[in-house]
């Protein structure tokens, strides 16, 4: 969930975190894969959106909560 006090990142900052090109990040924003907004002609990315993207695309195994023990 996005709140008003959430940190916002530039395309350049997002690029360093995700190790993707600026063009790829802009395409992801347009497709809704990352959440953000345009301020003038520049994109601003919500930090929580980047965290969600990383979690979704991580190969970390999902914890099995159905076992007893």
For residue 37, report the phi and psi dihedrals to the nearest 5 degrees: -155, 160
Paired tokens of 31: 């497709």
**DSSP 8-state secondary structure symbol assigned to residue 38:** E
Paired tokens of 36: 């953000």
pLDDT computed for residue 19 by the predictor: 95
pLDDT computed for residue 64 by the predictor: 63
**Splitting the chain (69 residues) into consecutive groups of 10 residues, what average pLDDT does each group show?**
77 96 96 94 95 89 62
d(CA 8, CA 31) in angstroms, rounded, equals 19
């Amino acid at each position: 969930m996005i709140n008003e006090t959430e940190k916002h990142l530039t395309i350049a900052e997002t690029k360093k975190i995700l190790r993707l090109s600026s063009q790829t990040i802009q395409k992801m924003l347009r497709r809704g894969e990352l959440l953000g907004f345009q301020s003038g002609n520049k994109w601003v990315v919500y930090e929580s959106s980047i965290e969600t993207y990383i979690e979704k695309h991580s190969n970390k195994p999902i914890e099995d909560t159905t076992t007893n023990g």
